[in-house]
Amino acid sequence: MFDVLTDKINSCVMPTYNRFPIALKKGKGSYVWDQEDKAYLDYTSGIATCNLGHVPATVKVAIESQLNELWHCSNLYTIPSQEQLANKLVEHTVFDQVFFCNSGAEANEAAIKIARRYAQEINQSNKYEIVTFNQSFHGRTLATLSATGQTKIQAGFNPLTPGFRYLPYNDRKALKDLIRQETCAVLLELVQGEGGVVPADQIWVHELVRLCKDNDVLVMVDEIQTGIGRTGSLFVYENYQIEPDVISVAKGLGSGFPIGAILAKNDVAKAFQPGSHGSTFGGNPLAATAGLATVQTMMQTDLLTEAKQKMAYFWSELKGLASKTPEIKQIRGKGFLIGIEVKGKAIDYVTKARKAHQLLILVAGDNVIRILPPLTTTKEEIDYALAKLKAVFENDNG
């Protein structure tokens, strides 16, 4: 058995993560188990990925069936499950076409490429600039970290990919600088996840969209963390009553199986033609099957309706806890993407929750706790998590 405490120094895995000192071997529903068979309530959902909980039955059955048929064939051939997944996503959104890839960063790469190609090949312009926002997070490839508005993410990777400009988030006055002659698109998160779980102001968003539409600048929403039911609707743009030109999605789309995508309107999607973009593994039979089963499960049941009710209950109880807890400065976010801003270091509370109370939660910056329950969590599990959070803030180690 690999001992994460004693063998860490000898690990052959590059140390790109400060890993928690537990090794997980099993998951089901809202719980995971470590190698010592200790159970943890997992309110990280694999960082907003296991939205249906761990090993959801409908997805498991679909993947097991596909494993006996075909794993990979490349995108040189039609993949039926990929076609079905694309149709399902189009059916439940305002978009017309889908491109599949393997991850959130790849999805944002595709969004960046389609925006520039739309401007240069379809509109026959020289536009190339994409505006993003301070404290945003769009990935760790060279282009997507260049799009990310956080210098700590970009440190050590100079020169960055040119063509990105950053503005203050939720700042209506800064919108006067939104569009320049070379601007082709705006890329934004409607809830900044890694940047502290900060939701966008609706008036600011509507003004931003109006300016973009008036100037033929694409509106692209990064739904990597907010998509696939995380905020109570299939995608968070629905909460804001807007119609983006492009969205990027990954994480929850495959219930933990690696898959990403961009969804685009027809006039934008035509910028991608044979040879302009591609992916060997993107949307392969296994990934597409996982995605299809995930979306079908979410849209063919009352799951989202029930999730909204649980979200409202959790928020109400958290606000009650915050009113009695001096250490909590603010509760913010949307749905089951929740940020708790605290006076101390967030990692201290996260560590205490894990070690003393077998509750897994995350950080989103130095002083923000991030909570990401699966949509399938029960009211009993929410009450259990609330009791554990109360104990954490009361410095109760029992």
- Give the C-alpha separation, 117 to 284, whole Å: 25
Q: From 205, 73, 59, select the one nearest 133 (Cα to Cα).
A: 205
List Cβ neighbours of 144 (8 Å cut-off, separation of 6 or more). 105, 108, 109, 112, 138
Distance CA 46, CA 198 (A): 20
**Which domains are delineated in the chain?**
24-55+302-393 (3.90.1150.10), 57-299 (3.40.640.10)
Q: What is the dihedral of CA 146, 93, 283, 334, to 10 degrees?
A: 50
Distances in whole angstroms, Cα of residue 220 to Cα of each of 110, 274, 299, 332:
11, 22, 24, 23
> What is the residue-level pLDDT of the chain in tens, covering all 398 positions?
334 444 566 889 999 999 999 999 999 999 999 999 999 999 999 999 999 999 999 999 999 999 999 999 999 999 999 999 999 999 999 999 999 999 999 999 999 999 999 999 999 999 999 999 999 999 999 999 999 999 999 999 999 999 999 999 999 999 999 999 999 999 999 999 999 999 999 999 999 999 999 999 999 999 999 999 999 999 999 999 999 999 999 999 999 999 999 999 999 999 999 999 999 999 999 999 999 999 999 998 899 999 999 999 999 999 999 999 999 999 999 999 999 999 999 999 999 999 999 999 999 999 999 999 999 999 999 999 999 999 999 974 44
Residues 6+ apart with CB under 8 A from 35: 1, 2, 23, 24, 25
Q: Global pTM? A: 0.95
For 137, list phi and psi in degrees, rounded to 5.
Answer: -145, 120
Residue 206 in tokens: 């509507």
Give me the residues paired with residue 262 across strands.
99, 248
